[in-house]
Chains A and B, each alone.
Chain A
Amino acid sequence: MSYKCSRCKRDVELDEYGGVRCPYCGHRVLLKERSRDIKDVDVR
């Protein structure tokens, strides 16, 4: 799963042992990146 650090803006890959923490700056707030897939939405 790809995240972006909210402080240093670098891409972060999380694994199950590393915890939620940016490996570059140690910041704990990570933003989830939106998938590049085209999303279908029903307008109803």
Chain B
Amino acid sequence: MQDYEVEFVERGDREARFLVRGITPAFANGIRRAMIADVPTFSIDQLRVVENSSVMFDEQIGLRLGLVPLTTPEGEFEIGDEVTLALDVEGPSREETTETVTAYSGDIVSSDELVRPADDNIPIIDLKAGQRLEVEADAVLDHGREHAKHQGGVAVGYRHLQQVEVVGDKGEFADDEPHILRGVIEDDGELIATDEFDNDLTERYPDKELAVEDVPNAFVFHVETDGSMTVEDLVVRAVDSLRDRADELRESVQL
């Protein structure tokens, strides 16, 4: 199998930017689509409403709970596996108060410590005095192609790597307009994110005549996850899913 050159420009748990050299546009798009649709995550799929005296309908609360990202460890579960979660929050105990109690995703209790809300501060609903929300929910492991709530990658995209070359000086009477470019540029082999100079090349190369070109077969991916897994996990699982499907295809066409 061919090796690809991968270089990180920014690297965080939930957001990263990395350069991949030596891949075709079709393969880059394949990776992007796999990150969105082929990496399974847990999401609430069934709700049992024991009590809901809040101002929202059961279905509205269900939709909000379905969009809470749940941590999805690799290799521990299979597609269709279920984990039970519960939420029980009550409004303020004093009857006369106008204050509210907010039910947050952090109030959700899970039956499996591996699957829990990725963020604790997602508001579900405000409860007034006398109101109560008690629900039980089943989270199911499924793919993003089945429902968007199962997408692990929330902002996944890529751009060509841009090569910037100084070809000369600007004329004395040349227009002094900004030259906006977004993404990552390569300058003498060095990778620079364009937001370092406000996405304006004239900030970095004042009074210079520039030639900007796409670097063939070099793509800069910008990946953000919903917290159900790290960016690294998401990318590796996406590429694994592509490999599995390619293997499956190869086996099925062999007579």
Contacts and interface: CB of A to CB of B under 8 A. Distances in A.
B49 A43 contact: no
Contacts of B45: 42-44
A40 B48 contact: yes
B131 to A, nearest CB: 12
Interface residues of B, number: 19
Interface residues of A, number: 8
B50 A43 contact: no
A41 B62 contact: yes
Contacts of A39: 48-49, 58
Contacts, number: 37
A43 B65 contact: yes
B48 A43 contact: no
A42 B59 CA distance: 8
A25 B44 CA distance: 45
B147 A41 contact: no
Contacts of B34: none
Most buried by B among A34, A38, A39, A43: A43
B58 A43 contact: no
B66 interface: yes
B47 A43 contact: yes
A38 B63 CA distance: 18
For the complex of A and B, 7 pairs with smallest distance between CB atoms = A43-B66, A41-B47, A43-B62, A39-B49, A41-B62, A41-B58, A38-B48
